[in-house]
A and B are shown apart, each in its own frame.
Chain A
Amino acid sequence: MALPEKQPVQKKFIDPVAVKKSISQRLVVNNITKIIFLIGLLFGLVVLGILLSGVVRDGAAWLSLDFLQNAPSRRPDRAGIYPALMGSIFLMLLIIPMIFILGVGAAIYLEEYAKKGRMTSFIEVNISNLAGVPSIVFGLLGLTFFVRNMGFGSTLIAGALTLALMSLPVVIVSSQEAIRAVPQAMRHASLALGASKWQTTFKVVLPASLPGVITGIILAVSRAIGETAPLIMVGAAIFIARAPEGIFSEFTALPIQIYNWTSRPQADFQGLAAAGIIVLMVILLTMNSLAIWIRNRFSKRY
């Protein structure tokens, strides 16, 4: 290090020569760390790549139309995923209206109607904490309340209600964000035309926030459909040969079926599990892309 020579007359605290020297060094450090940071980021992407390619490698051979149409079987070559696939689709169809009505209703209340106060902030803190409760605890709630107390048994409706309650906090928060993003000027325009509060909310605010709301709901549903633990708690059947016939019939779902195959030691069943994962991932990625598309298509409209 070239320290500045002590010159009592012209005292300079910053020596340009030293700075110039150190700059190149600092830039080297900067560039090296930049690469390290990039590697950190790429790690996640690489893992995702390995994961997906590994699953495809293991499972592609087992994918066929029969696989989608058959019931699970002890003989791997005959095993299929039909009841689980239908179970997951039924769950989805049940969950969507539940979380749409409850989630958007709650979000509208909190953003448009609630007065700032103890009750409102209590509800909001409660929602954010609920979002952090592990899914298996929701499973315990479902098992106790829906399966036993309400007497639904291990049925589709018990599973759907459990997953809906679990998804609700996420839906509320994302809907609140979408509603908050609607400019105040829209509400004023409507109110100034003599529209009532509810008319303004229902005819202006809700339609304007709908893309954001729907994006949030799709993401929440795709989360819910991939959940295993709560369904295990609710008692979704491990082995079931038929698609559910109504909301009160027993059911299984894709993650449960995948878990069942994964936990068997034979390699063939691992392949079936991988094939099941492919089906699940295709559904989830489609939903995610749809959500991202909606978000980009309708963003920045005001």
Chain B
Amino acid sequence: MYRYDDFDARLVRERIAEFRDQVERRIDGRLTEDQFKPLRLMNGVYLQLHAYMLRVAIPYGALRAEQMRMLATISGKYDRGYGHFTTRQNIQYNWPSLVDIPDILEELASVEMHAIQTSGNCIRNVTADPFAGAAADELEDSRPWAEIIRQWSTLHPEFTFLPRKFKIAINGAAEDRAGIRVHDIGLQIVENEAGARGFEVWVGGGQGRTPRLARLVKDFVEPRDLLSYLTAILRVYNQHGRRDNLYKARIKILVDALGVEAFAAEVDEEWSYIRDGELRLPQSEILRIRSFFSTPSITEASPVPEAGPAAFRHWLKHNHRDHQTAGLSSVVISLKPIGGTPGDATTGQMQVVADLTEHYGFDEVRVTPDQNLVLPHVRNEDLFAVWTALVDAKLATANAGLATDIVACPGLDYCNLANARSIPVSQAISSTLEAEGLSEAAGDVTIKISGCINACGHHHVAAIGVLGVDKRGEEFYQITLGGAFGADASIGEIVGKGLAAEDVPGAIARILKSYLAQRLGDERFIDTLRRLGSDAFKEAIYADLAA
């Protein structure tokens, strides 16, 4: 894990002192809300329906035990005893007082954390594979590159006022678990024919009201050129991106407007001026950053247990992931208890995860884009002890990747932008699918819910997406089918008219029953859907409603 140097620590401390002064001036009236709002947003502070919300950055979703413990402490000391892990691998606190936030930031800084660039039209937290450095299918650990990008983009003076927010994802494994096709820039670590490592660069993906899959603009960028190429992309966007229309300001609209070839040509021209300049990454610097990130080495390799209680084996079946090192495993800690709130963890649960990270996890825990946690490195002989502790903490739900592993934004219960509630709908779906035995039976199915078109719940890339809309004061939910997040990324299509909230769980249950009746062999839901088309499921959604 990366550790702050003196520069990092001073930068964060100075920023906190600056924000403390800004808060004091806001409270005593020297700053108006119009003057203060952009300043608080630059420090991750939103004003939501009932309270301020503080979004804390978790760079590429990676935490040490002391950092998770601090997140727990803050949730108990300054909030209401829980935190909400997000689809962008961050954590949000829903109830902090403005006057407490400078103190919260001080506490975060004591464990090398902050809330900088978790809002605003800047480069946001870099998304990475939550299994990076551990996954069996990995070509190269993406974390050093995510850290290099983090350092380059933090308080970057040229990219602090972009036309709109900007999100970068990086993936170094065969399976894309970072979602590179739905980010403004997606980087895939690849190996060329000569055996050299570099980056495929995808640009212009995103969700929201205009969902787009990123397009390939460069099939190979050498590691030393990464920052100069990213800079060239950002400069083209900064110059040509639309600032006159909020809804057309993302880079995906620019790529649409120019066409991917013309866009790539503009980037290449800009790149030609800067490629051999100060942004060229020295090999020594790459190695320095890489030295912070290691995979544990063990001397004795035990196999994954095959015996034990049925519940333990069931948990291993769904929440265990193969590790690149013999004798180690990765495990998913589901934050999706049946009928619970997706992504929430209580103070006590975070403390338990911190303890497990310290005792069994080689001091590493990750946040996933699916709003779960991951212990990337666990000795196989420790898996039972980890599971036992998770059971006691009500964190051992064996549903990672199943239909009850639902992603949901906070929705109208918290969010100022939302049109409809997400949490109660996700809870009802989870309970219904579990009660009918469909979560286990249907296997690998993604269900994601957004409470508005901004799509923080990532419904566009769910096999079954649910989008909440408001029609004259009433909540309705549109079902989308066919979205996917990873290497076979796709945008789901709306199927028919919206449903009332109470009709959504039954409709999704009928979709899954229809799938089970129509699948060939052990075909996944998304593959059955692509084979048959969404119309094959339309009748299942609406049949009972018409009756």
User: Real complex partners, A and B?
Assistant: no
The interface of chain A, by Cβ under 8 A from chain B, is none
Residues of chain B whose beta carbon lies under 8 Å from any beta carbon of chain A: none
